[in-house]
Amino acid sequence: MMMDIVQSTCEGYGIHMRKIEIVKLNKMAKIEYQLQTPSNLESKTLIIEGPEYLAWNNDDRYILDLVCSKHNLVRKPILQPPTLTELYYIKNDDGTLTEKSREVPNPDYEPNKTEEVFYKFPNSPIYNAPIPPQQGDVAKINELETQLTTLQTKIENMLQIMISKGFV
């Protein structure tokens, strides 16, 4: 399968997928890609087989995440815009062309999609990265911390009373 997918990473690197070759059907594939660092462009080859091959299925995001994990990188999420700009040309009366553009619906846009799916691999940054708290989580954490402080104060007061009464 020939392809030319360019994928950015959160670290500012680029993954240029060049070719996926099925070496043994349902067993092994060879992936050719280029890793673009801030100072270099390196051609790489990755052989996947066994559990990695079987987990691939037909989702190219799996391959992108696997390649990124091999270099300790995290793929940047891809969220499609609702529309695309389509360019077209109109022939004028004098024979010249005028470029025009219009917004057209993006067939890949998913209005309910708010986050990207990532495949997780052991020892990759996306697998081990802590999940950042959401806005509602922060408020709940603050509320629980306040309740905890209040309970600690009450326990200290009760302990002082018990000590003063000779119970402890």
Residues 18 and 40 placed together within one structural domain of the fold: yes
| Complete DSSP assignment for 13-63 | -EEEEEEEEEEETTTEEEEEEEEEETTEEEEEEEEEETHHHHHHTT-HHHH
Residues 38 and 55 placed together within one structural domain of the fold: yes
Residue 94 is assigned to a structural domain of this protein: no
Identify the pLDDT of residue 46.
94
Residues 19 and 59 placed together within one structural domain of the fold: yes
Identify the pLDDT of residue 116.
64
Residues 137 and 70 placed together within one structural domain of the fold: no
Residue 30 is assigned to a structural domain of this protein: yes
Residue 145 is assigned to a structural domain of this protein: yes
- pLDDT above 60 for 124: no
Residue with tokens 């087989």: 49
Residues 160 and 124 placed together within one structural domain of the fold: no
Q: pLDDT tens digit string along 125-138?
A: 555 444 455 556 66
Enclosing domain of residue 141: 133-168
- Mean of the per-residue pLDDT values for the chain? 81
Q: What mean pLDDT do residues 97-118 have?
A: 80
Residues 62 and 25 placed together within one structural domain of the fold: yes
Identify the pLDDT of residue 50.
87
Q: What mean pLDDT do residues 104-123 have?
A: 72
Domain count, the chain: 2
Higher pLDDT, residue 51 or 4:
51
Residues 153 and 73 placed together within one structural domain of the fold: no
pTM: 0.52
Q: pLDDT tens digit string along 15-59?
A: 888 888 989 988 899 999 999 888 888 999 999 998 888 888 877
Identify the pLDDT of residue 118.
66
- Return contacts of 151-154, CB within 8 angstroms, 24+ apart: none
Residue 152 is assigned to a structural domain of this protein: yes
- pLDDT above 60 for 4: no
Residues 17 and 65 placed together within one structural domain of the fold: yes
Residues 68 and 53 placed together within one structural domain of the fold: yes
- pLDDT above 50 for 1: no
Residue 106 is assigned to a structural domain of this protein: no
CA distances from 26 to 21, 57, 119 (A): 12, 10, 20
